[in-house]
Structure 1
Amino acid sequence: MLSCVLPIVLVVFSNVVYQICAKSIPDEINPLASLTITYSVGAVFSAVMYFVLNRNGNLFQEYCRLNWVPFVFGIVLVGLEVGWIYVYKAGWPVSTASVVQSAFLAVALIFVGWLFYKEPLSWNKIVGVFVVLAGLVLINR
């Protein structure tokens, strides 16, 4: 049970701090310039945590196992980060932006799961899509 709950707690906590940080980027700085620091800190922190959690680990051996994913993931993460910064610079409230994004993401991922991962597309999920869309109408009134 704890192994299922802790990762979700980490994701929720990190997302809350993430949204606070994204909304707090000063208007005077170019978001991409800010992200150079963000990713430098992230790279150093990732390396430190790798060695903390893998006492005898060999980071270069790990790199030999890479495929295309970390490279595309890096590009996509920049798009995600700069997108959020621009969302807040455009004036979206934290409470609304996250809900709207999450609702559209949930709907999109239902279809991604069905198309790419052969996850079943049940009537419950289809009805859920309409409930989510109705919720978006209500939250944006």
Structure 2
Amino acid sequence: MFYLPILIVIATTATYHLCSKSMSKHINPFLNLLIVYIVAALSSFIYFMLTNQGEGIISSLGNINYAVPMLALSIVGLEFGFILLYRTGWDISLGPLVNGIIVAVILVIVGLLAFNEVLGINKVIGISLCLIGLVMLNYQPKCKTK
């Protein structure tokens, strides 16, 4: 059960990027997102009803905090950003990787400052390798011509 969540995240993230890259460039990206959110809302409602343990939607609303609307806004920005990323020509093999590396480094810093997480030698080495990888991915050697 421990690995199930990461398997779900991996599978859905790969699908997410394939779909984001495949969206028509001739449609306003916000119309695409509107349709995505309608389907997501219906799916979320169905999943809520299937997993509900007796508490209704109305009574559950009292437990919502600031993180829910902030998550919604960040999802819109994330999805719009990736649609633009692909529309401007980023490779599906590079854009998410650059994003993931930078976000991972930022979240290590946030974890240290906001959540009192520990920065061990493994994390320092991991961050260093990520940053080296980022440089390697974006490095374009200059070819000498004769």
Unpaired runs of 5+ residues, structure 2, are 140-146
Deviation at 1:47, TM superposition (A): 0.5
Quick one: distance in 1 between partners of 2:5 and 2:126? 25
Larger radius of gyration: 2
Amino acid at match of 2:126: G
SS of equivalent residue, structure 2 residue 63:
coil
Partner of 1:72: 70
Deviations 1:79-123 (A, max 9, x none): 000001011011011111111111111111110100100101223
Moved over 6 A (4+): none
5 Å-filtered alignment, 1:1-141, equals: 3-54=1-52, 56-141=54-139
Deviation at 1:124, TM superposition (A): 2.9
Unpaired runs of 5+ residues, structure 1, are none
Deviations 1:45-71 (A, max 9, x none): 100111112264411111121111111
> Which deviates further from its counterpart, 48-57 or 28-37?
48-57
Amino acid at match of 2:50: V
TM-score (norm 2): 0.89
Deviation at 1:5, TM superposition (A): 1.1
Give the root-mean-square deviation of aligned CA atoms. 1.3
Higher relative contact order (CA 8 A, sep 6+): 2
Quick one: distance in 2 between partners of 1:55 and 1:117? 30
